[in-house]
Amino acid sequence: MPNLSREEAAARSALIKVDSYDVDLDLDQGTEVFGSSTTIRFRCLTPGASTFFEVVPRQLGRVTLNGRELPVTDATGDGRFPLTDLAAENVLTVTATMEYSHSGEGLHRFSDPEDGLDYVYMMAFLDMASRVYACFEQPDIKAPFRLTVTAPQSWQVIANEAGTQVSPGRWEFDRTQPLATYFMTLVAGPYHSIYRSHEGVRFGLHARQTYREALENDAEELFDVTFGCWDRLHELYGVPYAFGDTYDQCFVPEFNAGAMENPGCVTFRDEAFMYRSAVTDARRESRATTIAHEMAHMWFGDLVTMSWWDDLWLNESFADCMGVRAATEGTRFTGVHASEAIIALRGYAADERSSTHPVAGDVVASDEALNNFDGISYEKGGAVLNQLAAWLGDEAFFDGLRKYFERFRFGNAKLADLMDCLAEASGRDLTDWSQRWLRTTGPNTLRVESSIEDGVYTAATIVQTGEPFRPHRLRLGLYRVDGDETVRFHQVTVDIDGERTEVPDLVGQPVADLLMVNDDDLTYAKIRLDEPSFAAVAGAMPTLSNPLTRALLWNLLVDMVGDADLSVDEYLDILAAVLPSEPSVAAVGLQLRHAKGFVDTYLSPEARPDGVRRLHEIASIMRRGAVAGDGIQLSALRYEVATASSPDEIAWVAGLLADENVPEGITMDAELRWDCLLRLVVLGAAGESDIDAELERDASSEGHKHAATCRAALPTPEAKAAAWQSVQWGEGLSNHVLRATADGFWWPEQEALTADYVAGFFADSPDGIGKRMPWEARHLGQVLFPSHAATAATIEAAETMLAADLNPHLRRSVSDALDDMRRAFRARG
């Protein structure tokens, strides 16, 4: 497949300027292939020079350059086609037969098993546009697109701009503004659509027919969130939406990412955001944040695009930062900041792995870029931008962004370009700040040292560890446990730099029960509390009303377990004391998920059963104490099911599946039934016939994926061998079915059964999943890595594997999983 180096991209963008793309696609050629015809008009700044374009066809039909026929045998196996003797003005035409994808990359085709209807959508990111049409595939060669499509007459087609069906099955779309090649998209099939108008723009929601009811049920909420974020982003940016008068949000099947910010035609993974079973409000909040994130991209990424993948953060970090702000300030989900603060742990975890990289990365070639879509480019970058906004102030920050949008409108930019605009707006030199925050790696850790006399602070120092030291603007919060309430009675804002910074404003203040470092989450830093404050956490959190402070304390606890500063048993003690009083559904779900991960991987096989028992008790107490029908009740029940182990607990889960003794407020819908069946399968209390019966009951695409997970989870040698074969080398399975099968393979309860596959992962994966498409290799490498087997032998096997030549996406997954396993191994010690 195409792989472009940074140097090659720079040379090509200095040589050619593309004026337009005309792309015509024929989707009415059956279920395996489609027709693609592309006309590219471009200028060459050095006539007579040579370059190349990218195309990855099943069969290349015809290539002409300025009317001259070029031999199709000139196409190379790496997806490149050479062009020689270029004129000052050029017209390139390429016709080809292309292949539909089942990996979620290129033009993905899906047949819904529930009703037999087919759907397609395009995912051109990151370098998959050349699997759909011929192009110069790099982010800094932007041009307008005119798309025409032939499709089955029963289909509708949606793309970046407004389209018209000019004859049965024939669609023409308005010419776009200049776009990077990875932003051109289309969505086609018998989609169910709902439309609204707002502020002169026609908004559309689209989902496949089997999600029709789910879309109808949630349409008003989806439009409310969309319009609220739209209005708030326009207020913040002060720059209008630039991509026509339509904005479509398409919920598509088997999508690899959560969503993709194609201008005017955003695509979302439907299973994650279309709800046919009960979900918690935290899931709805997450959906709102994703809608806001993708909308924020219309400015960061789409209007102004990074010049090269080094500056991916100019897309993702800003969308993360601004999306959280738009969702918090523009929708009913006012607690988004607290929820995202907990999720931000992903950034700290990524920053402490060997694969960490600067926020402004160093991407030598395009095949490395996908690996930078991680906690650094999202969570860390977003947190760093929050710190920058706190340091500059909102007025200067947004004034600088407006300069940036105006200066690079429909063009490309680099880190230095943004910093120049912000420096002009603020009057500050950001060179040192940019170097220390955006060009370095690793988190700092902040803590307070203090002296106390007669109940007041007589001296206080913030100590920064973890080089390089960075400048931080942060707040210290002083909290007092006052009867049945924990209140903040004072707050100090301080700018720190270097290893030690005195805090004179704390001197003379009464000693706090809880002295909170990085109160209000202004900066990106790990924190540690002084001993009296940490001792007060379990008693203070149940009566602490500030959701953001609670979120930061949950992060502290999880981070301490990861650093082996707090044992899993101690963490479970605090969880049992605090979680029943936690009002945030998002916090409850995330803590139960962290606890399940710690129990499964950080505890030795001998200690694990007791950890599972304790977690089951915590989830059971949570469920019984929750309000009937509340999201906390549902979240706790799911983990209560997932940790059932004793004969009585297994019988209870079987009873739920039989609709017996179902708690008031709980509906045994499809998702919950599959949760119960999976647990029974893992423990050998249900079998193949039970899976078949449940699949007959739920024949949806999601039902088929759940069935694949359950079959891989069957505790038999035959089931494990079949699952392993499918994931490693199986053909004809879609990306999501492969992932669902991998999800069911490893279970700590089946450690003896799967012991031989631990070594098998390292032996088989390089020539198995390592040969798959990038997203598949990355996801399957993460899921199939034997994380539960945190032993010295497993660590050694992973190190040996990484010493060999590997698919870069598989390498990244294994490297990250190995770093996490080393943490688990230390914790076991």
Q: State the residue for tokens 């008031």.
A: 664
Query: Hey, which residues does 111 pair with through a beta bridge?
Result: 118
Helix (H, G, I), strand (E, B) or coil at 13: helix
Query: Hey, which residues does 25 pair with through a beta bridge?
Result: 36, 149
Query: Hey, which residues does 108 pair with through a beta bridge?
Result: 101, 121
Q: How many CB atoms lie within 10 A of CB 732?
A: 7
Helices (H), 568-630: 568-578, 585-601, 608-625
Closest of 516, 564, 573, 506 to residue 544, by C-alpha = 516
Contact between residue 135 and residue 162 where contact means Cβ atoms under 8 Å apart: no
Closest of 613, 612, 561, 615 to residue 588, by C-alpha = 615
Q: State the residue for tokens 């945030």.
A: 584
DSSP 8-state symbol, 176:
P
> Which one from 294, 316, 340, 352 is the annotated catalytic residue?
294
Q: State the residue for tokens 């500056």.
A: 311
Closest of 741, 727, 701 to residue 116, by C-alpha = 701
**Length of the chain in terms of residues written:** 829
294 is annotated as an active-site residue: yes
Buried b (16+ CB within 10 A) or exposed e, 250-275: bbbbbbbbbbbbbbbbbbbbbbbbbb
DSSP-derived secondary structure for 354-401: TT---SS----BHHHHGGGSSTIIIIIHHHHHHHHHHHH-HHHHHHHH
CA distance from start to end of the chain: 44
- Burial of 802 per CB tally in 10 Å (0-12, 13-18, 19+): middle
Nearest-angstrom CA–CA distance, 333 and 314: 26
* Dihedral sign from CA coordinates of 276, 280, 283, 285: positive
- Burial of 825 per CB tally in 10 Å (0-12, 13-18, 19+): middle
* Dihedral sign from CA coordinates of 427, 428, 430, 431: positive
Helix (H, G, I), strand (E, B) or coil at 194: strand
Pairing of strands 445-453, 526-527: parallel
Active-site annotation, residues:
294
